[in-house]
Every structure is written in structure tokens, then in C-alpha cells.
A and B are shown apart, each in its own frame.
Chain A
Amino acid sequence: MPTNVVMPQMGESIFEGTITKWLKKAGDKVQRDEPLFEISTDKVDAEIPAPATGVLTEIKVAEGATVEINTVVAVIGDDSGTGAKGSATTVDAAKMAKEKAGATAPEKAKEPAPTSSSTSKKTDTASPAADGDPANAVKGVKPVAGAITTGGTNVVMPQMGESIFEGTITKWLKKAGDSVQRDEPLFEISTDKVDAEIPAPASGVLTEIKVAEGKTVEINTVVAVIGGSSAGSPPVAASVPAPAGKKAVAPAASAAPTASASVTAGERIRSSPLVRRIAKDNNLDLSQIAGTGMGGRITKEDALGYLGQHGKGAEAPAATKAAQLSATAETPAVSSQAASVQSMAASAGAPTPGDLVPLSKMRAIIAQRMVESKHTSAHVHTVFKIDMTRIARLREKEKSKYEQRNGVKLTYMPFIASAVVACLRKMPIVNASMEGNAIRYHKNINIGIAVALDWGLIVPVVKQAEERSFLGIARDIADLAARARAKKLKPDEASGGTFTITNPGIFGEQFGTPVINQPETAILGVGGMFKEPTVLTDAEGNDTIAIRSIMRLTLGFDHRIIDGADAGKFMAELKKTLENWNEDIG
């Protein structure tokens, strides 16, 4: 990541400084804190040290020039940035420095250096990230005028984990021309590890979206621009590339005209910011709602009443939305009012039979991993009936107090998870992985918890579960599941598992045959809990029939390294632990 070198502020009332001497030239290697240049200000003369180690890729302000404080005067690039691109940049930089020196000299008396135009300065200081992009590095050395007109903060595809090199934009939450706040969610991405909402790196108008929904790009690719040449006008919107493939899917061509026809030209629907949000969140068409407020305004109550009666509108499939964007782009004459109404009205219809909907990134990964797993492991499943009555009673008795005391709901999951941890401790082969011709016995017990999402499935991991108390595990599970649903998981929180628990029992299943989450070696499927007549035998051998809370647990295991006997022992141990529960639950 290149580092900008700025003119420092050498005292409270000092607002500019003159570069008297460069101690390095473009292309030189510099060490952090090594003197880089000398300046002269109203108060002091000083040697300024380099803020980072690397190669001085560019000198932006020549000797003799006076610039405002915080003006970028040079850029220090990564040491590793060699090769053709690196040297070209250096040459250009040197050339530019020369050009600038020439341009500056005659104007020096009345004005600071030309670079200190406020636009270019803002660009430089606000977005060091911009320089990370090769395209921009080239831009940076173009004549100054060019740099100013294309200024703004570049929004890049972030790196969501060490081994992640690309990401797919699944959804833009803003459209070109919208104002965004720094840290406000801007778009959603999907990567090999996690799905996430990406916040805006700066406040301003989203001037350009460079990468359309559904496209996969490398990390650090510029996907949008915030601010800069603030042409929040149709030509900018037109730069949204509409994926041709998707356009064919959606009947956008017919949808758009119909929608705009339903709006009488120039007539504005009176509502409120809240009502518009309710409409947007629920896909309501405001033109269908009768307003009872002053002047026919649609009030909150009107919108909620309509929602109560008619329910949510249908979610537009992503394809339709993308096509809509392109439709808007192709007709720049349409007024923004009409456009917004159109986008509201056109958002009808979930995928209908006959549609071909591309896989989401997450779906594609699940598909790939599941088939891989079936190809890799010799799956065997064993089902055990567990009498959960003791735990069910304990839970019933404790759950409200527990939640009050600990702020976390007492579910069955932490019981099962901590019993699994205890049994894995005793049976390390179940907490292992096959590596080539060897078996890796894992140091830690990292329990993956499968979490169903509206848009797929993710398995966040309770790390080092062997070190956690019951309450610690309960808290972790609740927290990870909540954040998984809110797309707030960090990449490493969904990796590194050594054993997975999946709980489809909530849908009422008896038992399932889950697929192992590679490279793990076993997975526990939790079936539904049912009251069943059960034969109980007392100490003297008398049999009685009682109604007990029964749950079926399935162990899916890899027969390559776990034999039926080991699996049986593990499950017998798990059954014993759960049926005779006597752990402290905190």
C-alpha cells in the first residue's frame, strides 16, 4: 500500500511550507524516519523524515514550491513494486516533477503550487486506497488537470481473508447519484469465505458504479467512485455496465413502460421518509395506497394498514433489478421522480417457473463443497436415540432465569455442543482430518455450527471449545448465529472447524444423514425432539413404559479413518453424557 508524504504542520499558526530540498529522488529506496526532504516555514526550517519504508515512487512538489500543509508532496510505494509498471511510474513521476517545477516557478509569488487545488488535495488525502489501484497510479502521474476532473474516493473490493483473492458483488445498496455516508453499507459481496456488507469508505455522492451486480472481480479492483467530479447526472448512471446475460432473463423492456404509465405525469405521491422506507422494505407500491393525511398524504398508519391487509410485495429478482438499472441508463431523459416510481412499481414477481436464475456465489460454493465431500469421504451414518428428558426438564426449569442472568437464551444446542466437546476429548479420532496418508489429530476442538440463512448456509466456528464453559459455548453459538444472519461474520470465524453440528431437527425431522464438512471427519445431525413411549428399566430389572422426550442424533463419519466401532463408542459416550447430564450450566 503506497504511503502519501504530506507537508507537515510545523506550528499552530503555520498553514504552508516551502520545500527547499529533496534529499532523495524518485526511484530511491527510503527507510522510515530517514530524512526525506527539507522545508522552510514561517517559524522553522526542518528536515522531514519519511513516514514509511519503501521506494519513493513519485515526487509531486518540486524544490522551491510552497504548498499548504497536508498537501501530498510525494508518494512512497511498496518495496516489492518492481517490474515494468514500477519503472514506468518512476520515469513519469520524474518527468512530472520537472514539468511542475517549470510550471510553478513563474506563479510562485502569487499562488502555491498547482497541485494544491482543493479537489486534488482532498482526493489524495482522503483515499490512500486509491493509490493501491494500478489504474489510479497511472492516473496520478498524468497532467494535473486530468487528475482533478476524475478525483473522488475509489471504492475497492476488500480482501475478506488471507487466502481470498476475489469477490462477487451480489448487491448494490445504493445507485449512482445517491448520497452515501462514510460507513454506511454500500454493497454486498460474496466470497469463498463469507458474505458481507461493505461500508462506504467516505461520504459523498456515489458518482459511478464500475462493477455491476453478479460480477466477480479481484480484490482491490475499483468497483465504484464516491465524490470527485460530482456529475450525479444521467451520463454517470449510464456508465453502469448492464450484464447482457441477465438482461435477457428479465422482461424489463415491457416492465418499464407499463410501470411509468401508471404514474400520471408530474403528480407526486405525498408520503413521508418513514412511509417511503416502509414501502421500500416491503416492496409496496405507494400509488396503490390511499392517503388519509393532510392533502391526501400517505401516513405511517396508512402504509402499515395496507401492509397488514395485503402483505409484502414480491421481491424483485436480482436480474430484474439489474435490467432495470440498464433501462434507466438508456433513457436519461426520464425524470428522477418517474425513475424512482418506476423502480418501485417494477419490483414485482419472484422467480417464476421457467426462469433460469444464476447460482449465487454462496450457492455455487455449497454445491461444489458438498459434491467434493461425497467424493472424498466414505460416508457412513449411525443413528442413536437419546432420552433428553433430564435436559428438557432442566432447561424448562432454568430457561427464564438463565436468560435474565446471562443474557443468552438457553437452547438445546449448547447442551449438545458441550457434550460433543467432552466426548471428542475422549475420542480424538473423531476430531481429526486425513492429510495424505496420515491422520492429523487436531490440537483444539473447533465446533462448527451450521446456520441456515435465507440465502444459503454458513458454518461459523466456536474456536477452542475445549477451553470454554457451558455458558461460554452458549454465548458463542448465539453470537455467531446472530452475526451470520446479519452478514457480520469475520472471515476467520467461518473457517478452521474440526467437527460440525447441524440442527435440521427444528423443522421436525426424525433424523438426517448429513454430509461431512471437509476436511473434518465427522458431523453430528440433530433430529427433532418428540415425546415418545419408552421402556424404562429400574435397578431391579422391572420394565415400565413412560413418556419421554426423545431425540435422534446421527453421526456421519468418514469410514476411511473412523470405523463403526469407534463411531459407536463415540455415540454411546455422547448418549451417556446427555442422558445423565450433570454439568454446571452457569
Chain B
Amino acid sequence: MATVTYLEAIRQAIWEEMERDSRVFVMGEDVGVYGGAFKVTEGFIHKFGKERVVDTPISEMAIASAAYGASLTGMRPVGEFQFMDFISSAHSQIVQILAKSNWRWGAPAPLVLRGPSGGGVSGGPFHSQNPEMFYVHTPGLKVIAPATARDAKGLMKSAIRDNNPVLFFEHKFLYRRVKEELPLEDYTVEIGKARVHREGRHLSVITYASMVYVAQEAADILQKEGIELEILDLRTLLPLDRDAIRATVEKTNRTIVLHEDTKTGGIAGEIAAIINEEAFDSLDAPIVRITAMDAPVPFSPPLEKAFLPKVEDVVREARHLLKY
């Protein structure tokens, strides 16, 4: 066992997969000598050479397209977007071609497009977004957003080994803040399975990525009042683990859906609908959404703090629901 950061976990996953499978290679802006903007691929070029660690022009469209082409020839590319905000520059390629390749032409596209998303670091409106829902709405893709180092590594390995195009949303706030001991041996985490991050019996907080830790802090506070939160970390957003969502609602009968993405069209609405469809008569209170405001991410630190969901929000809403 060794303690590693969330970022190091991702680095290890890609490194080990490249050692294991010669078809795996990385490409992206400054992933070579520079080692990537966040240093996820630091040292890769010395180990694997520039054939397998490819610097690209500043064009997300080019990265997605080249990765797709490579995947068709039997390679298993891992494309890095320096910031997931700019995935929109590759939108057409991802939505029209990658997602539909296997369905329209019977041509699987085993590739991973990964990069940092999320706020809390004063990155401003172009470097703090959570664009995952554009892709959760696109059948044919898989969308992953891990919260822990262990899951980041295990899910990255599963993503690289998966035969579908997988979008891997890392959370930049967690890169160096989350540390955890990881097993030394090779392991994977199954895509499409949520994880109970903390057991509780009074109220479920369904969430993912950095908001898992917001829920955790709230749970610590509420525990002192005798309120036990159960935290369900979705881990994969597409496909969603409907069974786990249903199970936690059936257990606690009260639900908060918490995410850092903005409210309208966020996954909380989808989850509320799933609960309505599958566990309506397990509800003892309305489903509450706690999300970022419907606004671009502010640059100003005080404004960004106001914009993002906070521990106090979860504590307040939980108390309210318990009284409901």
C-alpha cells in the first residue's frame, strides 16, 4: 500500500495500462516533454517515447478526431483535454461520430478522452465548468466522474479497457487534495456502478466528484445532531446506476441530489425522475436539488464561493427534510 493523490492515481492507471497494452497511447496539448498542464503525463515521454506520447496542436477537435481514427485502426488512445471546458470544441466529433460509430457502422471506438473539470480554484468561466451533461445526454458514450483516488485509478483502467468511447471527467480541485492508500496490485472499478461512500439511515445525498466531500463535511456536522446521512457517490454518470439510486431511496426515504454542475438540465433532474419512476412510494419527503446557480462560473473568489453548493446548504436542507 502506498498513499497517492487523485492525480497520481490517474497517472498510474494510464502508465500501467501503457505498460500492459502496447495499443494504449496518450495524446494532447503539451503532454510530452512538458508532461501536461497538470503533470498527469509527466515522465511518460521518457519511458514510452514520443510515438506513444504525442503532442498535438491546440485543437480539441483534432485530438478527438485523431483519437477516433487511431481507435479504428486498432489502437486504444487516451486523449487529454487541457481543460474539459474546451471539450465543446470537439462536440460535433464526439456526439456525431464517436458516440454513433459502433451503432451506425458497427465500428467500435475504444478510446478515452480525459481532462480536468470543475471549479473551486478561481479558474474563471473558461476553466471551471462541468460540461458532463452535454455528453450524458448522448447515448453511445460512457461518462465517468470519480471522487476518490482509488476510483479514479480503477475507473481509468476500466475506461481504457472498455470498447466504447469514454469521457473521463477528472476534478481539478481534487487532484492534489485527495490522498488515499491504493492497493499495489492491478485492480479495476466497474463502470456503471455507484458506491455508498458513507452509510446512514435518515437521508440520502446522491452526488459525485468533489461534492462527495461537501456531503461528507455536512454529514459530520449532522451526525452530532443524531442525523445520519448516507452518501451515494455515482462515480459513473452514463450509464447511471439506477439500482443503487433506488436502493438508497428505499433505505432512507429522503433524498438530496447534490452536484457542482448548474441546476437546469443537471443530472439532479434526471435522478429525481428516476426516483419518481422507480421508488415513488418509498418517498417520505420531496426530492431536493442542491446545485450551482444557473450562471457562468464567476472568477471572483467570493462570488465563486456563493455560486457553488456549500456544506451549509446541505446541512440546512437536510434539517428541513428531516422535519418535513
B324 to chain A: which residues have CB within 8 Å? Answer: 293-294, 297, 299
B282 to chain A: which residues have CB within 8 Å? Answer: 273-274, 277
A406 to chain B: which residues have CB within 8 Å? Answer: none
* A300 to B324 alpha-carbon distance, docked (Å): 10
Is B177 an interface position by the 8 A CB rule? no
Residues A273 and B323 in contact, CB atoms below 8 Å apart:
no
Q: Which of A361-415 contact B (CB under 8 A)?
A: none
If A274-B253, A300-B253 touch, whether A294 touches B284 (CB-CB below 8 Å) is no
Is A420 an interface position by the 8 A CB rule? no
Q: Which of A498-526 contact B (CB under 8 A)?
A: none
Q: What is the interface of chain B mostly: helix, strand, loop, or mixed?
A: loop
Q: Which of B242-271 contact A (CB under 8 A)?
A: 253
Residues A272 and B323 in contact, CB atoms below 8 Å apart:
no
Is A60 an interface position by the 8 A CB rule? no
Q: Which residue of A lies closest to B280 (CB)?
A: A273
Q: Which of A103-134 contact B (CB under 8 A)?
A: none
* A407 to B282 alpha-carbon distance, docked (Å): 28
Q: Which residue of B lies closest to A295 (CB)?
A: B324
Is B220 an interface position by the 8 A CB rule? no
Q: Which residue of B lies closest to A298 (CB)?
A: B284
If A293-B323, A294-B324 touch, whether A299 touches B281 (CB-CB below 8 Å) is no
B273 to chain A: which residues have CB within 8 Å? Answer: none
B323 to chain A: which residues have CB within 8 Å? Answer: 293-294
* A276 to B281 alpha-carbon distance, docked (Å): 8
B281 to chain A: which residues have CB within 8 Å? Answer: 273-274, 276-277
Is B4 an interface position by the 8 A CB rule? no
Q: Which of B270-324 contact A (CB under 8 A)?
A: 280-285, 323-324
A577 to chain B, nearest CB (A): 44
A299 to chain B: which residues have CB within 8 Å? Answer: 284, 324
Q: Which of A231-284 contact B (CB under 8 A)?
A: 272-277
A299 to chain B, nearest CB (A): 6
* A276 to B280 alpha-carbon distance, docked (Å): 11
* A365 to B198 alpha-carbon distance, docked (Å): 52
B280 to chain A: which residues have CB within 8 Å? Answer: 273
* A272 to B281 alpha-carbon distance, docked (Å): 8
B124 to chain A, nearest CB (A): 41
A147 to chain B, nearest CB (A): 31
B322 to chain A, nearest CB (A): 10
* A274 to B324 alpha-carbon distance, docked (Å): 13
**Number of chain A residues whose Cβ lies closer than 8 Å to a Cβ of chain B:** 11
A273 to chain B: which residues have CB within 8 Å? Answer: 280-284
B102 to chain A, nearest CB (A): 16
Q: Which residue of B lies closest to A275 (CB)?
A: B284
Most A-side CB within 10 Å, residue of B280, B281, B282: B281
* A293 to B322 alpha-carbon distance, docked (Å): 9
B255 to chain A, nearest CB (A): 12
Q: Which residue of A lies closest to B323 (CB)?
A: A294
Most B-side CB within 10 Å, residue of A274, A277, A299, A300: A274
Q: Which residue of B lies closest to A277 (CB)?
A: B281
* A276 to B282 alpha-carbon distance, docked (Å): 9
B185 to chain A, nearest CB (A): 24
B171 to chain A, nearest CB (A): 34
B273 to chain A, nearest CB (A): 14
* A202 to B111 alpha-carbon distance, docked (Å): 38
Most B-side CB within 10 Å, residue of A272, A277, A293, A300: A272
Most A-side CB within 10 Å, residue of B282, B283, B284: B284
A272 to chain B: which residues have CB within 8 Å? Answer: 283-285
Q: Which residue of B lies closest to A280 (CB)?
A: B281
Q: Which residue of A lies closest to B285 (CB)?
A: A272
* A494 to B77 alpha-carbon distance, docked (Å): 55
For A279-321 the 0/1 string (1 means CB < 8 A from B) is: 0000000000000011001011000000000000000000000
B284 to chain A: which residues have CB within 8 Å? Answer: 272-275, 299-300
A277 to chain B: which residues have CB within 8 Å? Answer: 281-282
* A294 to B280 alpha-carbon distance, docked (Å): 20
B253 to chain A: which residues have CB within 8 Å? Answer: 274, 300
Q: Which of B8-27 contact A (CB under 8 A)?
A: none
* A318 to B296 alpha-carbon distance, docked (Å): 60
* A94 to B37 alpha-carbon distance, docked (Å): 74
A294 to chain B: which residues have CB within 8 Å? Answer: 323-324
B272 to chain A, nearest CB (A): 13
A297 to chain B: which residues have CB within 8 Å? Answer: 324
A270 to chain B, nearest CB (A): 10
B220 to chain A, nearest CB (A): 24
B243 to chain A, nearest CB (A): 16
* A297 to B323 alpha-carbon distance, docked (Å): 10
A181 to chain B, nearest CB (A): 8
* A142 to B282 alpha-carbon distance, docked (Å): 46
Q: Which residue of A lies closest to B277 (CB)?
A: A181
A293 to chain B: which residues have CB within 8 Å? Answer: 323-324
Q: Which residue of A lies closest to B104 (CB)?
A: A12
A487 to chain B, nearest CB (A): 20
A275 to chain B, nearest CB (A): 7
A243 to chain B, nearest CB (A): 30
B27 to chain A, nearest CB (A): 32
* A217 to B285 alpha-carbon distance, docked (Å): 43
A111 to chain B, nearest CB (A): 32
* A293 to B282 alpha-carbon distance, docked (Å): 17
* A274 to B253 alpha-carbon distance, docked (Å): 8
Q: Which residue of B lies closest to A297 (CB)?
A: B324
For A511-547 the 0/1 string (1 means CB < 8 A from B) is: 0000000000000000000000000000000000000
* A299 to B253 alpha-carbon distance, docked (Å): 11
Q: Which residue of A lies closest to B283 (CB)?
A: A273
* A273 to B280 alpha-carbon distance, docked (Å): 6
B48 to chain A, nearest CB (A): 41
Q: Which residue of A lies closest to B249 (CB)?
A: A274
B319 to chain A, nearest CB (A): 12
Q: Which residue of A lies closest to B278 (CB)?
A: A181
* A272 to B324 alpha-carbon distance, docked (Å): 10
Q: Which residue of A lies closest to B282 (CB)?
A: A274
A300 to chain B: which residues have CB within 8 Å? Answer: 253, 284
A185 to chain B, nearest CB (A): 14
B121 to chain A, nearest CB (A): 39
* A272 to B283 alpha-carbon distance, docked (Å): 7
* A299 to B323 alpha-carbon distance, docked (Å): 9
A72 to chain B, nearest CB (A): 27
* A273 to B282 alpha-carbon distance, docked (Å): 6
B285 to chain A: which residues have CB within 8 Å? Answer: 272
B283 to chain A: which residues have CB within 8 Å? Answer: 272-274
* A382 to B153 alpha-carbon distance, docked (Å): 67
B249 to chain A, nearest CB (A): 10
A275 to chain B: which residues have CB within 8 Å? Answer: 284
* A293 to B283 alpha-carbon distance, docked (Å): 14
* A274 to B321 alpha-carbon distance, docked (Å): 14
* A299 to B282 alpha-carbon distance, docked (Å): 12
* A191 to B280 alpha-carbon distance, docked (Å): 33
* A272 to B323 alpha-carbon distance, docked (Å): 13
B194 to chain A, nearest CB (A): 22
Q: Which residue of B lies closest to A181 (CB)?
A: B277
* A299 to B286 alpha-carbon distance, docked (Å): 12
* A273 to B276 alpha-carbon distance, docked (Å): 10
A-B contact pairs, 5 of them (CB 8 A): A273-B281, A273-B284, A275-B284, A294-B324, A297-B324
Further 7 A-B residue pairs, CB within 8 A, beyond A274-B283, A297-B324: A272-B284, A273-B280, A273-B284, A274-B253, A274-B284, A293-B324, A299-B284
Closest A-B pairs by Cβ, 5 of them: A277-B281, A300-B284, A273-B281, A274-B284, A272-B284
Binding site for A on B (CB under 8 A): 253, 280-285, 323-324
Binding site for B on A (CB under 8 A): 272-277, 293-294, 297, 299-300
